[in-house]
């Protein structure tokens, strides 16, 4: 079952790549419309700095499924928890991923979160955590 989903995704990614190649260099030097890209096994950039009240947008720019999942113990105490899929906590996000790939972002999918409290926010892609796919948002006053 997972193999079929993977192959289907690879076919779609190939079509997107071909279309992008034919479209030229429209994004070169321009704003891609997101702040953090999700590569095969890394967030790019791994760290972003924003101001209180700013919204960060993540986009899955790879053919692999990813999540954006805050480490519950690595965000400011007064901060709102965030995770793709809208889970209220890290345990719920991890259980949803384990059960049915909950919170999964496919190629081209976006997730955004507005940061209202200054501080450091560490987050992870659950399926690629062992490979070191972690990121940080630094929110300044």
pLDDT at 32 (0 to 100): 86
pLDDT at 31 (0 to 100): 74
pLDDT at 101 (0 to 100): 97
Task: Kindly give the parts of the chain with pLDDT less than 50.
Answer: 1-29
Q: In angstroms, rounded to a whole number, what is the distance separating the alpha carbons of residues 121 and 55?
A: 13
pTM over cut 0.75: yes
pLDDT at 30 (0 to 100): 58
Answer yes or no: are the C-beta atoms of 124 and 74 closer than 8 Å. no
Q: What phi and psi values does residue 9 have, to the nearest 5 degrees?
A: -65, -40
């Amino acid at each position: 079952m997972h193999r079929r989903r993977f192959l289907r995704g690879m076919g779609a990614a190939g079509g997107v790549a071909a279309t992008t190649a034919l479209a030229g260099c429209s994004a070169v030097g321009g704003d891609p419309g997101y702040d953090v890209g999700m590569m095969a096994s890394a967030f790019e950039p791994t760290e972003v700095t924003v101001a209180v009240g700013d919204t960060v947008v993540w986009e899955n720019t790879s053919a692999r499924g990813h999540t954006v999942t805050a480490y519950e113990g690595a965000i400011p105490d007064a901060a709102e928890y965030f995770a793709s899929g809208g889970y209220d906590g890290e345990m719920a996000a991890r259980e949803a991923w384990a059960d049915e790939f909950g919170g999964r972002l496919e190629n081209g999918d976006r997730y955004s979160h507005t940061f209202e409290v200054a501080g450091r926010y560490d987050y992870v892609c659950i399926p690629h955590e062992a490979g070191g796919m972690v990121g940080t948002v630094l929110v300044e006053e």
